[in-house]
Amino acid sequence: MKNEKQIIYIHETTTLYSENGEVHIETCNGDLLVFRAETLFKDLPTLAYFCLKEIDANKKHILKELKELNVK
Q: Residue 43 has what pLDDT? A: 97
Residues 6+ apart with CB under 8 A from 55: none
Q: Residue 54 has what pLDDT? A: 96
Q: Residue 72 has what pLDDT? A: 57
| Residue type present at position 68 | E
Question: Pick from 41, 7, 8, 9: which is nearest to 22 by CA?
Answer: 41
Q: Residue 1 has what pLDDT? A: 58
Give, for 25, the enclosing helix (H) or strand (E).
strand 22-27
Q: In the chain, where are the structural domains located? A: 13-71
**What is the value of pTM for the model shown?**
0.73
Q: What is the mean pLDDT of each run of 10 residues along the chain (72 residues)?
A: 82 95 94 96 97 96 90 62
Give every strand in the sheet of 13-19, ordered side by side: 13-19, 22-27, 32-36
